[in-house]
Structure 1
Amino acid sequence: MVVLQVRQLNVPPGQRVLFSDISWQKFEEILAELGEHRASRLAYDSGTLEIMTPLPEHEDSKEIIGDLLKAFLEEEEIEFRSLGSTTFKNQAMLKGIEPNQCFYIQNEAAIRGKKRLDLTIDPPPGLALEIEITSRTHPNTYAALGVPELWRFQHERLCIYLLQAGTYVEVERSPTFRNLDLKTIIPQYLEQSRLVGRNTTIKRFRQWVRESR
């Protein structure tokens, strides 16, 4: 039997690799071997492990949308904590996921100052963002972990889902953001950033937030 180290695996940007029959212990070992400073993202669901590497356009959309949400929360003076692609996992559920971006908003105070999170005792992030270009979102994993709000951005379209009775239901507006029409606004400002730059776009967005009160 040939044994390879996971770090020897080279997944090209935009591609993913699936492994089956991976135990929880092996999943933990793979996380430790790959470390935190890596380009790849992992998802684990009941023995199936997915390793994917995002494309540059994937990361660009993630950063700009994340910056827009941060700007909104700052303008509204709402405390939040952004944890990027932190690994969220629950051994009892055999679930693990690394979102493109995530935010603690309603439960920010509950995890404030913590360097390590344990979803068996800590709340999950209140909002997870996934950019779908070549990767899958894994909504069932997010639902199992109890993430209340899931955003999916694909083909320049933003979809907002709320967790209701264990299932995600698509809604038109997010109650977290004053029920504003972000499904229209976010793609517009994302497109602006490609034309006029990130800083100019964020300044314009902040001004829009102030005027929309």
Structure 2
Amino acid sequence: MALLNSGKIKGKGYPLVQAFPIKPQHFTHSGLGWQQFKALQRAFEDSPGVRVNYFDGDVEILTVSPQHGIIAGNLGFLLELWMLEQGIAFVATGDMTVERDQVASAQGDKSYCFSDRKTIPDLSIEVVIAGEGSTKLARYAALGVSEVWFWQNSEIAIYQLEGTRYAKVEVSQYAPGLNLSNLAACVVIESRAAALAKFKAG
């Protein structure tokens, strides 16, 4: 893997992401309509690090911590390098907000379309520091995202859409040869260069 085999890291050990004074907060408000959700979304649109999601009357408000940002950044970086080495054609659409009017709205940490760009990504990835990952699946199903990953507690869980429901699987349809346990463990290393060194060693 040419891209993953370039560069050297000096020293021993890898500093892991530690808890920061600013901790993530996760709130869910029930019984709200789409217009109320859109008003909240507009209220927070100039607040970096705050995400507002919606499904079936539930509005989720999530603050993103520096810890969250490091893990999500490393995950996207390592995954994209691996896909480039494999010759996988993808469009990285970042943390784009995906909506179905009156039904659902979601903003993952990373999202990808394969082959061509689409209005709904093929793959959405969320780093879960606060809250439960699997509870978010209903809104992704309503949006029609074909595969969802949740990184949580140094593990990656993969769900693929089958009809209107998700099934948990062991292998991604978009990254079938990827060592997910190695990826999940490496993204918590604070130094991106050190994360890359451990990833290619694994």
- TM-score interval, smaller chain: 0.7 to 0.9
Aligned equivalents of 1:173, 1:110: Cα separation in 2: 23
Aligned equivalents of 2:164, 2:121: Cα separation in 1: 16
Give runs of aligned pairs for residues 121-200 of structure 1, distance below 5 A: 122=119, 124-137=120-133, 138-177=136-175, 179-191=176-188, 193-194=189-190, 197-200=191-194
Task: Kindly indicate whether the alpha-carbon contact (under 8 Å) linking 2:74 and 2:195 is maintained by their aligned counterparts in 1.
Answer: no
Q: CA deviation at 1:180?
A: 1.9
Task: Kindly indicate whether the alpha-carbon contact (under 8 Å) linking 1:97 and 1:141 is maintained by their aligned counterparts in 2.
Answer: yes
Q: Deviations over 1:165-213 (max 9, x none)?
A: 2211111111211x2252222124335x34xx312433664x579xxxx
- Are residues 15 and 73 of structure 1, via their aligned partners in 2, closer, same or farther at CA, if it must alter by over 3 Å? same
Q: CA deviation at 1:157?
A: 1.1
Give runs of aligned pairs for residues 88-127 of structure 1, distance below 5 A: 88-92=98-102, 94-106=103-115, 109-111=116-118, 122=119, 124-127=120-123
Determine the structure 1 residue equivalent to 2:195: 201
Bigger fraction of residues in helix: 1
Task: Kindly indicate whether the alpha-carbon contact (under 8 Å) linking 1:173 and 1:182 is maintained by their aligned counterparts in 2.
Answer: no
Determine the structure 1 residue equivalent to 2:84: 74
Task: Kindly indicate whether the alpha-carbon contact (under 8 Å) linking 1:84 and 1:102 is maintained by their aligned counterparts in 2.
Answer: yes
Determine the structure 2 residue equivalent to 1:5: none
Q: Deviations over 1:101-155 (max 9, x none)?
A: 211124xx244xxxxxxxxxx3x11111111221333111111111111111111
Equivalences, count: 179
Aligned equivalents of 1:84, 1:166: Cα separation in 2: 25
TM-score by length of 1: 0.73
The letter of the residue matching 1:100 is D
1:59 equivalent to 2:56? Answer no
Gaps of 5+ in 1: 1-11, 112-121
- Are residues 156 and 28 of structure 1, via their aligned partners in 2, closer, same or farther at CA, if it must alter by over 3 Å? same
Aligned equivalents of 2:127, 2:101: Cα separation in 1: 26
TM-score by length of 2: 0.77
Task: Kindly indicate whether the alpha-carbon contact (under 8 Å) linking 2:93 and 2:112 is maintained by their aligned counterparts in 1.
Answer: yes
Q: CA deviation at 1:36?
A: 5.7
Query: What CA RMSD, in Å, does the superposition of the two structures yield over aligned residues?
Result: 2.4
